[in-house]
Chains A and B, each alone.
Chain A
Amino acid sequence: MRVLLGIARRTGGRLLSSLPALLGVVMLTFLLMRVLPGDPAVFFASGPSAGQEEIEHIRRAMGLDRPMPEQLARYLWDIARGNLGRSLGTGQPVLTDLRQRLPASLELTFCALAIALGLALPLGIAAALRPNSILDHAVRFVCSMGVCVPTFVSGLLLIYVFYYLLGWAPDPTGRIDIFAATPPDMTGFLLLDFAIARDWEGFRAAAAQLVLPAFTMALFVLAPLARMTRASMLAALGSDFVRTARSLGLSRRRVVLTYALRNALLPVLTITGIVFSTMLGANVLVEKVFSWPGVASYALDALLASDYAPVQGFVLLMASIFVLVNLVVDVLYGIADPRASMA
Chain B
Amino acid sequence: MNINRRQALQGAAAMLGAAALPGGALAQSRAETLRQVTGNTINTLDPTTPGATRESFGLAMNTYDRLVAFGRKPVPGGFIYDHEAIRGELAESYTVSPDGTRLTFTLRRDAKWHDGSPVTAEDAKWSLDRHVSANSLAKAQLQISSYTSPEQFRVLDPMTIEVALEKPDRRALMNLAVPYAIMINSRLAKQHATAEDPWAQAWMKDNLAGGGAYAVEGFRPGEQVALRRSEAWKNGPEGRLPFFRRIIAQTVPEAATRANLIERGDADLSIDLLASDIAALQSRGRVKVFSVPIANGFTHIAMNTRMAPFDKVQVRRAIAAAVPYEDMFQASIFGRGARLFGGDWADLPPDASFPRPMPLRTDPALAKRLLTEAGFPNGFSTSFAFSAGAASANEPIAALVKESLGRIGIQVEIQKLPDAQFNTFQAEKRLPMFVDGATAWLPETDYYMKLYFTREQRWNFSNFNHPEMNRLTGLAQFELDRRQYEEMCRRMVAILGEEVPELLLWQPNHEAAMAPSLEGYTYWFYRQIDFRDLRRA
Q: Is B439 an interface residue (CB 8 A)?
A: yes
In residues 449-488 of chain B, which contact A (Cβ within 8 Å)?
Answer: 451, 457-458
Residue in contact with B427 in the complex, picked from A48, A55, A171, CB distance below 8 Å: A55
Name which of A11-19, A21-29, A37-45, A239-247 contacts chain B.
Answer: A37-45
Residue in contact with A49 in the complex, picked from B144, B221, B254, CB distance below 8 Å: B144
Residue in contact with A90 in the complex, picked from B221, B252, B451, CB distance below 8 Å: B221
CB-based nearest B residue for A300? B253
Inter-chain contact A91/B424, CB cutoff 8 Å:
no
Inter-chain contact B140/A173, CB cutoff 8 Å:
no
Q: Which residues of B contact A53 (CB under 8 A)?
A: 139-140
Tally of A-B Cβ pairs under 8 angstroms: 151
Q: Which residues of B contact A174 (CB under 8 A)?
A: 223, 250
Q: Which residues of A contact B19 (CB under 8 A)?
A: 201
Contact-residue bracket for chain A: 35 or more
Inter-chain contact A159/B260, CB cutoff 8 Å:
yes
Q: Is B299 an interface residue (CB 8 A)?
A: no
CB-based nearest A residue for B430? A37
Q: Which residues of A contact B440 (CB under 8 A)?
A: 48
Q: Is B109 an interface residue (CB 8 A)?
A: no
Q: Is A105 an interface residue (CB 8 A)?
A: no
Inter-chain contact B137/A54, CB cutoff 8 Å:
yes
CB-based nearest B residue for A96? B221
Known A178-B35, A201-B19; contact A47-B424, beta-carbon cutoff 8 A: no
B451 to chain A, nearest CB (A): 8
Name which of B36-44, B66-74, B115-123 contacts chain A.
Answer: B36-44
Inter-chain contact A45/B50, CB cutoff 8 Å:
yes
Q: Which residues of A contact B421 (CB under 8 A)?
A: 36-38, 306
Q: Is A52 an interface residue (CB 8 A)?
A: yes
CA A197 – CA B187 in complex, angstroms? 40
CA A290 – CA B260 in complex, angstroms? 12
In the complex, how many residues of chain B place their beta carbon closer than 8 angstroms to a beta carbon of chain A?
A: 58
Known A44-B51, A178-B224, A297-B253; contact A49-B260, beta-carbon cutoff 8 A: no
Inter-chain contact B224/A88, CB cutoff 8 Å:
no
Inter-chain contact B223/A42, CB cutoff 8 Å:
no
CA A52 – CA B427 in complex, angstroms? 9
CA A298 – CA B222 in complex, angstroms? 8
Chain A positions 92 through 116: 1 when the CB is less than 8 Å from some CB of chain B, otherwise 0: 1000010010000000000000000
Q: Which residues of A contact B223 (CB under 8 A)?
A: 174, 293
In residues 258-285 of chain B, which contact A (Cβ within 8 Å)?
Answer: 260-261, 263-264, 266-267
Q: Is B423 an interface residue (CB 8 A)?
A: yes
Q: Is B380 an interface residue (CB 8 A)?
A: no
Q: Which residues of A contact B43 (CB under 8 A)?
A: 88-91
In residues 232-260 of chain B, which contact A (Cβ within 8 Å)?
Answer: 248, 250-254, 256-257, 260
In residues 389-427 of chain B, which contact A (Cβ within 8 Å)?
Answer: 389, 418-421, 423-425, 427
Binding site for B on A (CB under 8 A): 36-40, 42-55, 57-58, 61, 88-92, 97, 100, 156, 159-160, 163-164, 167, 171-174, 178-179, 200-201, 288-291, 293, 297-298, 301, 304-306
Binding site for A on B (CB under 8 A): 15, 19, 30, 33, 35, 37, 41, 43-44, 49-52, 57, 135, 137, 139-141, 143-144, 205-206, 220-224, 248, 250-254, 256-257, 260-261, 263-264, 266-267, 388-389, 418-421, 423-425, 427, 439-441, 451, 457-458
11 A-B contact pairs sorted by A residue (CB < 8 Å): A37-B424, A37-B425, A42-B427, A42-B458, A47-B137, A51-B140, A54-B50, A54-B137, A91-B44, A289-B257, A304-B388
Given known contacts A54-B137, A97-B222, A156-B256, what 12 new A-B pairs fall within 8 Å (CB)? A38-B418, A42-B458, A48-B439, A49-B141, A58-B51, A171-B267, A178-B248, A288-B253, A289-B254, A290-B257, A301-B222, A305-B420
